[in-house]
């Protein structure tokens, strides 16, 4: 989280297939890590895929936010919702995304929070994208 509106930081490479990404993250807003993503916005926010102007990143999305942390989405649609958020908002966590062929795993603090095998193999390679969305102050 941090100041500013929604933004996305793409890797230069667009050929990430199988990888193990491990990072330390402060969970405070609504962010995530997209992976195997095509470059640029291509899906409209708050509408069905393929309608409206392109404004949303496509690909798999490992959630890093206080309400759905550890979940997994594709094209902004839920694949696996985390059973419970395994952390307290405002704390640092170890966050991992593991992509091995069509098997996808998300871990927080060493615990598997989402695991999915995509039999449709919708995204086989692409960018890794860090999503930033500012935290909304809570009263």
Q: What would the pLDDT profile of 112-136 be if each residue is shown by its tens digit?
A: 999 999 999 999 999 999 987 765 5
Q: How many domains does the chain have?
A: 1
Domain of 25, CATH number, reads 2.60.120.560
Q: What would the pLDDT profile of 44-103 be if each residue is shown by its tens digit?
A: 555 555 554 445 788 999 998 777 788 898 887 778 877 666 567 788 999 999 999 999
pTM of the model: 0.81
- Residue 138 in any domain: the answer is no
- Residue 1 in any domain: the answer is no
The residue range of the domain holding 79 is: 7-132
- Residue 137 in any domain: the answer is no
Residues whose CB is less than 8 angstroms from the CB of residue 56 and which lie 6 or more positions away in sequence, other chains included: 41, 42, 43, 44, 45, 76
- Residue 81 in any domain: the answer is yes
Find where tokens 């798999």 sit: 60
- Residue 2 in any domain: the answer is no
């Amino acid at each position: 989280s941090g100041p500013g509106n929604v933004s996305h930081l793409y890797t230069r490479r667009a050929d990430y297939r199988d990888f193990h990404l491990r990072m330390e993250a402060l969970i405070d807003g609504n962010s995530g890590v997209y992976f195997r993503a095509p470059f640029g916005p291509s899906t409209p926010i708050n509408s069905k895929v393929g309608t409206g102007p392109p404004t949303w990143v496509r690909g798999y999305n490992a959630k890093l936010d206080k309400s759905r942390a550890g979940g997994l989405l594709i094209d902004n649609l839920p694949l696996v919702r985390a059973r419970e958020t395994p952390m307290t908002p405002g704390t640092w966590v170890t966050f991992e995304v593991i992509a091995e062929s069509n098997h996808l795993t998300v871990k927080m603090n060493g615990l598997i929070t989402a695991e999915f095998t995509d039999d449709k193999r919708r995204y086989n390679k692409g960018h890794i994208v860090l999503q930033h969305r500012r935290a909304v102050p809570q009263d």
